[in-house]
Structure 1
Amino acid sequence: MLKLKSVAIETYKENVAYLHRDCPLYRSEGFQALMKIEISVKDGERAVIAVLNIVNDDSIMDIDELGLSVQAFQQLGEQQGTPVYVAPARAPASLEEVRKKIAGETLSKKSFELITRDISENRYSKMEIAAFLVACSHSGLEREEVLYLTQAMVASGKKLSWDGSLVVDKHCIGGIPGNRTTMIIVPIVAAHGMLIPKTSSRAITSPAGTADTMEMLAKVDITNEQMQQVVQQHRGMLAWGGTAKLAPVDDILISVERPLSMDSSSQLVASILAKKIAAGSTHLLIDIPVGPTAKIHHTREALKLRKMFEYVGDHLGIYIEVILTNGSQPIGNGIGPALEARDVMKVLKNQVDAPGDLREKSLRLAGRILEFDPDVRGGQGYAIARDIVESGRALEKMQDIIQAQGKLLPEQAPATRVFEVRCQLSGYVHQIDNLQLAKIASLAGAPIDKYAGVELLCKIGDKVEKGDILYKIYACFESDFQFATELAAQKNGYSIYPQVPTEPEMFLV
């Protein structure tokens, strides 16, 4: 037995335990760093599994103490100094299923249930989770496997329920910087009177997620009870899904995907639909941008992905409409939370300098959602959405939602380091590299530094002269500023040619 100690280290979705190297238990039981141990209280209940780290510093850990990271300590739910039992943890039985997937086998519904259960109980280390994700990505998942994984992830957490048979939602698969249409669509749809309780994610590999951008305006980490209150009062919300415990296994998988920059299509479908079904959605609009530097490069890939969404949706009882949009360039002018929030508010306020592409795409997507309403005839949705924005009702609804969730004041100072990336020759903008611009914005500090990012001044089709400013880089710290500007100097992400380019269509299919 050892005395419990809280070690104030945030290990992000992984339980970690700390043991002094001179602890008699360490020497007698043959414990080793990175092995998994089980910690339980005296009555044998409330056990947690954690990855063991060995400490050499007496100021961190005494020889008769067992330290737990923030998450593990909260899960155990005991006071500091409580006597705890420590024992080697049994290897999760479901690892055999992971080995099957590594070998290229197709897994059963039971296999995914076992794997997700062990992951949710913290029986997997991040290395083992990475093995599972890589196996799924490398071998690929059959459509039945995607269905099974989705069902297992939904079952891993809570499920929200709402009053009403029509609960709508919208999701973009990502890959397009600045594509912050959701923050415009939600107040439009809610102002119309439809229920749209939007739970959004934070950035995985991008410079900003919807939750990161909304956090510039309001609290997003609200409880399930607060969500219910906001939606009952205002018909919509824009909250982070992490605090709602919706498909929590997905959050654990994302915590490993992020540093690996992994985003496989099969995992993407399961992740999106697990969250939407757990959030109680009945009707879902999915935006799949297609472009040479988007996640999906070709229309044939997008059509295959659409069929996967529709297959899983049909089997889980959620109506899905998938739209293919042009992903050849960023949407809006800002890339990064503060810059994207500014774009959103300009559109809602009907400002003359609001980005036209963000406004138009938001209105067209909102129109399609409004047409889920049986009282709205096909083709009328766009006009209704436009009228809601132009009348100021969308702005009023957004302000109501912000106040209800809790308005936030900026905690960070605006970025003080600004670099202008200029055009090297005259001509017309033909291509903009989404991935390169996202990398530059991320290196500048986004989304951790909310004011960091990139502000675009030129889009595809614009005529430019040598020396014109293509975009500005904003950074809060010198090291980030240097990284971002050096990458932009190597490749600025713009392709300039003498001839006038063809105007890209917003909707492909």
Structure 2
Amino acid sequence: MRHTAPLNAHLMGIDTHEEPIVFMRSDCAICRAEGFSANTRLQVQAGERSLIANLNIVSPEVLEEDHIGFSDSAWAFLDLSEGQRVHVRHAPLVRSLSALRKKIYGHELNALEINTIIRDIGRRLYSDIEIASFLTASAAGHLTAAEVTAMTRAMVNSGNQLHWTGADRVFDKHCIGGLPGNRTTPIVISIASAAGLMIPKTSSRAITSPAGTADTMEVLTEVDLSLEQLQRVVEQTGACLAAGGKVDLSPVDDLLIRIERALDLDSPGQLVASVLSKKVAAGSNHILIDMPVGPTAKLRSREEADELAALFRQVANAMGLHLHCVITDGTQAIGYGVGPMEEARDVLAVLRNSVEAPSDLAERSLFLAANLLAMDSGEPLDVTIPRAREILYSGQAWQQFQRICHAQGGLKPLAEAPHHSCLRAQRTGKLGAMDNRRLAQLAKLAGAPSSPLAGLRLHVKVGDSVIPGQPLATLFADTPGELAYARDYYHQNRDLFDIESAS
């Protein structure tokens, strides 16, 4: 297919996140000659690099004649410079879309079909609508273990892979989420790596929660490490607590997560492929999965957890991984903080053995760390739990956490949100339950995790007695508007704190 006449590249300064967008004038001769219109899919060629992008049409005064504008992500992907000559043409047929349609109609895909879909998504050949179609079809059609295994392998192969010389056992830990404040990972990694385990921990940012590990760690230290920086940190400390995006480990996963976040979707098959692809790409082969179960957690029942654990084990076995799933209590938020900065406060309090440290976060972290130690030594938990406790309470875990943060760029000071509001009880009673999903939504409406200072600080736990006017939580936000928006949601959903009447 022939190329059109060249156009001059111009950075529009428009952030469309990872969706590549190009902009052409409404009076552009090329648009008229080629039949390009708004939302046409175009292939842009810049030297040896090419990209499929959606076309937006702009008024002539927005863009100079013979110029084509680029969104930030399209510009970065093509590595353009201002005024560089580029060519555009109609996008070629993406052959893997036939496999996508097959999945939409409920058929199982083979490994080759899965691989071509993941490859084409990674090459930016899919629009956001097509990625969303793949995710929803996969969620509705319940990916088989074979499909999830194929997807995991394809996602691993989409980016860099780490290999740790001389390390037979490389560990990692992941929580499937759905429980506000459950920020055990920095504590667990500090304990386990202080005990000598190698744990190159990379984390995604939050998908459907008010904070992920990377979001929380970002308020404490640098997390966007290059591949070389990450390797250096692990060589120095035996561990890291980094974000996975910049090191290009399973990069297609990040493209899928962006759409999952918009859809508020986290299906079992995609979850397993996402988690395990990141672990394999990071070079880990011994993996602990924390699976909280509760009426308002991501996993509602033990049966649902058992099904997910079975899928994890099937895929892990096919990938040659040692994997252990633990089912934990998911009935209420863990710790006191919800949102990046507030969860960071809890993490530091536990590691520093502060008197105000939330005991539930500490005990949960000790249990998970002990499971990692047991995976390494083969010893029972009644041996490894006291060992983990000694590492935490002696200050070794805190020292190790500081070493990791120092290696990643230094430990940052905590900050305060400029706006806050106290949420108070209206009647006497006992807190019988809290709704994890609506609690997370409340923190997100306040601005978390995109605003790191936004979120909640809980003042009560299930089982506590309350009286009218007693603080249940403090709401934090960066702006008055976000604070008011979240507070209105709370006033319409006061029953997210289920206060049982006193008998």
TM range, smaller chain: over 0.9
Q: 1:150·1:270 contact (CA, 8 Å) conserved in 2?
A: yes
Superposition map of 1:342-361 within 5 A: 342-361=345-364
Q: 2:180·2:440 contact (CA, 8 Å) conserved in 1?
A: yes
- Residue 80 (structure 1) shift: 2.0
- Residue 406 (structure 1) shift: 0.8
Q: Secondary structure at 2:457's aligned position in 1?
A: strand
1:256 aligns with 2:259: yes
- Residue 418 (structure 1) shift: 1.8
Structure 1 distance, partners of 2:438, 2:87, is 51
- Residue 386 (structure 1) shift: 0.6
Superimposed CA distance per residue, residues 96-127 of structure 1 (whole angstroms, 9 cap, x where no aligned partner): 11111111111111111110111111111101
Q: 2:42·2:90 contact (CA, 8 Å) conserved in 1?
A: yes
Structure 1 distance, partners of 2:502, 2:246, is 51
Q: 2:189·2:239 contact (CA, 8 Å) conserved in 1?
A: yes
Query: Could you tell me which residue of structure 2 aligns to residue 160 of structure 1?
Result: 162
Superposition map of 1:326-341 within 5 A: 326-341=329-344
1:106 aligns with 2:108: yes
Of 405, 425, 430, which aligns to 1:423? 425
- Residue 374 (structure 1) shift: 2.6
Query: Could you tell me which residue of structure 2 aligns to residue 298 of structure 1?
Result: 301
Q: Specify the code of the residue in structure 1 equivalent to 2:31.
A: Y
Query: Could you tell me which residue of structure 1 aligns to residue 139 of structure 2?
Result: 137
Q: Specify the code of the residue in structure 2 equivalent to 1:423.
A: A
Q: TM-score, normalized by length of structure 1?
A: 0.95
Aligned residue pair count: 496
Structure 1 distance, partners of 2:227, 2:100, is 33
Query: Could you tell me which residue of structure 1 aligns to residue 220 of structure 2?
Result: 217
Q: 2:428·2:502 contact (CA, 8 Å) conserved in 1?
A: no
Query: Could you tell me which residue of structure 2 aligns to residue 23 of structure 1?
Result: 28
1:385 aligns with 2:385: no
Q: Specify the code of the residue in structure 2 equivalent to 1:291.
A: G
Of 312, 318, 331, which aligns to 1:315? 318
Query: Structure 1 regions of 5+ residues with no counterpart?
Result: 501-509
Q: 1:19·1:63 contact (CA, 8 Å) conserved in 2?
A: no
Q: 1:4·1:66 contact (CA, 8 Å) conserved in 2?
A: yes
Percent identity over paired residues:
44
Superimposed CA distance per residue, residues 140-173 of structure 1 (whole angstroms, 9 cap, x where no aligned partner): 2112111111111111111111130111110000
Q: Secondary structure at 2:53's aligned position in 1?
A: strand
Superimposed CA distance per residue, residues 57-93 of structure 1 (whole angstroms, 9 cap, x where no aligned partner): 52x3112011222222222234322222111111311
- Residue 328 (structure 1) shift: 0.5
Q: Specify the code of the residue in structure 1 equivalent to 2:233.
A: V
* More displaced 10-residue stretch of structure 1: 157-166 or 2-11: 2-11
Query: Could you tell me which residue of structure 1 aligns to residue 3 of structure 2?
Result: none
Q: 2:27·2:60 contact (CA, 8 Å) conserved in 1?
A: no
Q: 1:414·1:476 contact (CA, 8 Å) conserved in 2?
A: no
Query: Could you tell me which residue of structure 2 aligns to residue 367 of structure 1?
Result: 370
- Residue 498 (structure 1) shift: 4.2
1:272 aligns with 2:267: no
Q: Secondary structure at 1:184's aligned position in 2?
A: helix
Structure 2 distance, partners of 1:78, 1:416, is 39
Structure 1 distance, partners of 2:478, 2:489, is 17
Q: Secondary structure at 2:287's aligned position in 1?
A: strand
- Residue 491 (structure 1) shift: 1.3
Q: 1:24·1:63 contact (CA, 8 Å) conserved in 2?
A: no
Change (3 A) 1:223 1:107: same
Q: Specify the code of the residue in structure 2 equivalent to 1:278.
A: A
Superimposed CA distance per residue, residues 427-457 of structure 1 (whole angstroms, 9 cap, x where no aligned partner): 2211110011111111111111111111101
Q: Secondary structure at 1:373's aligned position in 2?
A: helix
- Residue 333 (structure 1) shift: 0.2
Q: Specify the code of the residue in structure 1 equivalent to 2:416.
A: P
Q: Secondary structure at 2:376's aligned position in 1?
A: coil
Superposition map of 1:189-204 within 5 A: 189-204=192-207
Structure 2 distance, partners of 1:441, 1:377, is 38
Change (3 A) 1:286 1:416: same
Of 467, 477, 480, which aligns to 2:479? 477
Q: 2:417·2:454 contact (CA, 8 Å) conserved in 1?
A: yes
Superimposed CA distance per residue, residues 464-497 of structure 1 (whole angstroms, 9 cap, x where no aligned partner): 2222111111112111111111111111311122
Structure 1 distance, partners of 2:102, 2:240, is 42
1:36 aligns with 2:41: yes
RMSD, aligned α-carbons: 1.5
Query: Could you tell me which residue of structure 1 aligns to residue 175 of structure 2?
Result: 172
Structure 2 distance, partners of 1:435, 1:373, is 35
Structure 1 distance, partners of 2:501, 2:491, is 22
Q: TM-score, normalized by length of structure 2?
A: 0.96
Q: Secondary structure at 1:403's aligned position in 2?
A: helix
Query: Could you tell me which residue of structure 2 aligns to residue 206 of structure 1?
Result: 209
Query: Could you tell me which residue of structure 2 aligns to residue 486 of structure 1?
Result: 488
Structure 2 distance, partners of 1:346, 1:242, is 28
Q: 1:215·1:408 contact (CA, 8 Å) conserved in 2?
A: no
Query: Could you tell me which residue of structure 2 aligns to residue 88 of structure 1?
Result: 90
Change (3 A) 1:153 1:468: same
Of 16, 36, 50, which aligns to 1:11? 16
Of 285, 288, 291, which aligns to 1:285? 288
Query: Could you tell me which residue of structure 2 aligns to residue 507 of structure 1?
Result: none
Structure 1 distance, partners of 2:304, 2:228, is 40
Structure 2 distance, partners of 1:273, 1:41, is 35
Q: Specify the code of the residue in structure 2 equivalent to 1:484.
A: A
Q: 2:402·2:411 contact (CA, 8 Å) conserved in 1?
A: no
* More displaced 10-residue stretch of structure 1: 205-214 or 422-431: 422-431
Change (3 A) 1:387 1:284: same
Structure 2 distance, partners of 1:41, 1:271, is 31
Structure 1 distance, partners of 2:217, 2:238, is 17
- Residue 499 (structure 1) shift: 6.6
Structure 2 distance, partners of 1:413, 1:495, is 31
Superimposed CA distance per residue, residues 21-62 of structure 1 (whole angstroms, 9 cap, x where no aligned partner): 1111011111011121111146xx22222111111152x311
Structure 1 distance, partners of 2:163, 2:195, is 21
Q: 1:101·1:136 contact (CA, 8 Å) conserved in 2?
A: yes
- Residue 177 (structure 1) shift: 0.4
Q: 1:177·1:207 contact (CA, 8 Å) conserved in 2?
A: yes
- Residue 422 (structure 1) shift: 1.4
Q: 2:157·2:250 contact (CA, 8 Å) conserved in 1?
A: yes
Structure 1 distance, partners of 2:46, 2:152, is 34
- Residue 377 (structure 1) shift: 5.2
Q: Secondary structure at 1:352's aligned position in 2?
A: coil
Q: 1:37·1:52 contact (CA, 8 Å) conserved in 2?
A: yes
Query: Could you tell me which residue of structure 2 aligns to residue 232 of structure 1?
Result: 235
Structure 2 distance, partners of 1:131, 1:56, is 32
Structure 2 distance, partners of 1:62, 1:112, is 42
Change (3 A) 1:449 1:378: closer
Q: Specify the code of the residue in structure 2 equivalent to 1:136.
A: S
Structure 2 distance, partners of 1:261, 1:130, is 11
Query: Structure 2 regions of 5+ residues with no counterpart?
Result: 1-5
Superimposed CA distance per residue, residues 283-325 of structure 1 (whole angstroms, 9 cap, x where no aligned partner): 0000111111101101000000000000000000111100011
Structure 1 distance, partners of 2:376, 2:254, is 32
Q: Secondary structure at 1:454's aligned position in 2?
A: strand
Of 120, 123, 139, which aligns to 2:122? 120
